[in-house]
Amino acid sequence: MSAVRLNAATAIVAALALAAIAVVLYDASETSASYFSAYDGTDPFHEQCSSDALGRGTAVLNYPLTRVRDATGVVIARLELEYSSYCDTAWPRVVLIPAARARFKGRFLRLAATRKAQDVVAPYQLPLSGGGYGWGNMVSIEDSCVFVTATLLPASGKQGGSTATTPCLNGSKAR
């Protein structure tokens, strides 16, 4: 009977240890009580919202181009507000010009999608690794003004750098 009690006690201790590990690993910065939709703060590709995406920052869709500039004012990328009618979400996408890909390798762009009505912000820090494009997390449109921003972080990694912001995409007009 003592072996049964020992196994039960071992199982209880193991369960408590796993619960403690789960609490330690939980990162509250990844979620926010201000998120209203299951899509807020999630990856558009992981959620399969990108398959029908329209780039609202491309000239083809007659939406103003938003240019990301370095500290000297030189254009380094185009910022696009991507929209999915299937998921009714929007997120930032950046396309770096070829010369900037190598020049800013190792730096970061802080991307964010913002839904003004509920003050929901879905940030993502994009590491620049020499590739041509990247994207950030998304927010639901919910008949609200949504815009995206891109901030080139200084080499020191501190906040502050140049920021580009797209015009507002109104949810009711996105469809």
Rounded to whole angstroms, how far apart are CA atoms 78 and 84? 19
- Other Cβ atoms less than 10 A from the Cβ of 20: the count is 10
Domain-by-domain residue ranges, the chain?
Answer: 34-174
- What fold does the segment set 34-174 form as a domain? Immunoglobulin-like (2.60.40)
Secondary structure (3-state) at 119: coil
32-58: per-residue pLDDT in tens? 445 678 999 999 989 988 877 776 555
55 burial via Cβ count (<10 Å: 0-12, 13-18, 19+): middle
Query: How much is the pTM?
Result: 0.73
Residue 61, both tokens? 């869709």
Mean pLDDT by 10 residues, the chain (175 residues): 49 44 35 69 90 61 75 90 90 94 93 92 95 94 90 76 85 56
Rounded to whole angstroms, how far apart are CA atoms 174 and 159? 32
Rounded to whole angstroms, how far apart are CA atoms 111 and 123? 6
Q: What is the pLDDT of residue 6?
A: 46
Q: What is the pLDDT of residue 24?
A: 31
At 133, which helix (H) or strand (E)? strand 133-135
User: Which CA distances in Å does 12 have to 6, 18, 99, 133, 148?
Assistant: 10, 10, 58, 48, 48
Residues contacting residue 146 through CB under 8 Å, at least 6 positions apart: 81, 90, 113, 114, 115, 116, 139, 168, 169, 171
